Amino acid sequence: MYNMEKHDLIHEFPSYRDKINEMKTGSNRFRKLYEEYQDADLQIHRIEEGETPTTDDHLNELRIKRVHLKDILYKMLVQ
């Protein structure tokens, strides 16, 4: 059974909600990374829900990508 927990960025960092929204419009780099994060999260969610078949290796790669992007985005938020 897969972990069905929500991982959208605002859910992950609720205290940074305003800054996330501000940076999505004010920083092209942040917006691009944010969109990549959201895309990876959506793909993972679809796989976990059984909507999209895949291999365990691919799912793990997506999870690693999501964590890496979350780390980068968090560092940008706290600067």
pTM metric for this prediction: 0.88
Alpha carbon distance 20, 17 (integer Å) = 5
24-54 pLDDT, tens digit each:
999 999 999 999 999 999 999 999 999 999 9
The 3-state DSSP class for residue 21 equals: helix
Structure tokens at 26: 């004010």
Residue whose tokens read 């940076």: 23
Which value, in Å, is the radius of gyration of the alpha carbons in the chain?
A: 13
